[in-house]
Structure 1
């Protein structure tokens, strides 16, 4: 067969091959261009998850001999960095979440809604729904219930005092639960009836990176106001120890602050312990342990 005849036979085959190739290429291009986009109502993976925050909340505990407040730390999810958002989350904990301390209880009625929180010049005005007035407690429970809300909100530095309204009306809330009432509002922070825990630490926070001197601050309700502080590394070696006193001893509650000087051989991690020592047998009591790094 001559070269010309061979070319005549091969040329149609080559043309068919090219047509098939272009057809598949076109299909692939169309498939690559199809993009359905985000599905309505479905959260995309690029959004940041809600941030977690540890919030202090106060509940009422009643025993055979006494009624008082207990302080707990709850981790909640926040959708905003605003103080009002964190304050709202704290109030929802008081309304909806049972305390961890045995014998403690929620006081605010479960059907209560928080309509609004307005924070201005250190005053937080909380507007509740009418269901808040349905609590069935005595005079002591009412006073502690009010203080539990106030202490919870004044954990935030921007809030110094708290007032309440019901459905936007201050007068409608004035009798509150029928015993103490709101006649003395706005209310201020008062930790004198917080009996549990005996010690809590405000600074440093768990997991915080610290340096020397380490500022340790918190609240204590302990014998003769004595507070012991100890910093150890992750091998249990003592890096520093200190002692201070709160500004009031048990049965009262006082604040304490102490600067702890320490020298760490290298960057690492460890634990800060805060406790008081029994004068009877030297036992370390009500110890709070906080993991830290340096």
Structure 2
């Protein structure tokens, strides 16, 4: 989960996060070219039109990377209420260079609809805590998971590696489905400090910790 300063231009802020920050989700990569600017966004009758600077066309990726880049924009924008489809402009228009986009998929099928099947989806996806968040007991670990028998495990460690708390929770559904989970961790500390939350699932074959997500926190 990314945190951004308060703004009324929430869609623009979300897209700027895609452009300017590294993903917090393990395995995800940044695909939009650095330096890309959002010139404007309009929403009418469920269609969001995003106007990019021409810098957006400078990516050098393959066909799969292009599809991922386009879909990551669409899925981000359609997270917001009232948006069902998305169209792109480049410097206020869609000329031939813009239609070609990054040279493979292109913008020939605009407007685009949401499709989460075309983006990387980790086994464990955390929404709380955020990286470097100041937490208190009980610490609620929240997210969604697609894991064996829906069982998600977590622990809180201090900066020396000492375990302060651990537990497990059952997500709303197990693999191949995805379900939400909430896992409270109760702990005691005597002074401010830093540590990390580790969230994972255990292999039924050998007990190995799988798809571990590590989030730094403070208290």
The answer to whether the aligner puts 1:164 opposite 2:92 as a matched pair is no
Aligned equivalent of 2:204: 279
Closer, same or farther: CA 84–149 of 1 in aligned 2, 3 Å: closer
Closer, same or farther: CA 275–193 of 1 in aligned 2, 3 Å: farther
The DSSP-based 3-state class of the residue aligned with 1:146 is helix
Please give the TM-score of this superposition, normalised by the length of structure 2. Answer: 0.64
**For 1:93 and 1:142, how far apart are their aligned partners in 2?**
18
Q: Deviations over 1:123-182 (max 9, x none)?
A: 6431246786899965x6665443121234456x67854511425468998998468712
**For 2:129 and 2:94, how far apart are their aligned partners in 1?**
39
Closer, same or farther: CA 121–204 of 1 in aligned 2, 3 Å: farther
Aligned residues: CA RMSD: 4.5
The answer to whether the aligner puts 1:243 opposite 2:169 as a matched pair is yes
Question: Displacement of 1:218 after TM fit?
Answer: 2.2
Aligned equivalent of 1:87: 14
* Contact persistence 1:203–1:216 (CA under 8 A): yes
Aligned equivalent of 1:127: 51
**Unpaired segments ≥5 residues, structure 2:** none
Aligned equivalent of 2:40: 116
Q: Deviations over 1:2-48 (max 9, x none)?
A: xxxxxxxxxxxxxxxxxxxxxxxxxxxxxxxxxxxxxxxxxxxxxxx
Give runs of aligned pairs for residues 128-277 of structure 1, distance below 5 A: 128=52, 143-153=67-77, 161-166=84-89, 168=92, 177=105, 181-183=109-111, 185=112, 187-188=113-114, 190-195=115-120, 197-235=122-160, 236-245=162-171, 247-250=173-176, 254-269=178-193, 270-277=195-202
Question: Displacement of 1:260 after TM fit?
Answer: 0.5
Closer, same or farther: CA 85–149 of 1 in aligned 2, 3 Å: closer
Closer, same or farther: CA 239–179 of 1 in aligned 2, 3 Å: closer
* Larger helix share, 1 or 2: 1
Task: Give aligned pairs, total.
Answer: 207
Question: Displacement of 1:202 after TM fit?
Answer: 1.6
Question: Displacement of 1:208 after TM fit?
Answer: 1.6
* Contact persistence 2:200–2:211 (CA under 8 A): yes
Greater C-alpha Rg: 1
Question: Displacement of 1:274 after TM fit?
Answer: 0.4
Structure with more relative contact order (C-alpha pairs < 8 Å, separation 6 or more)? 2
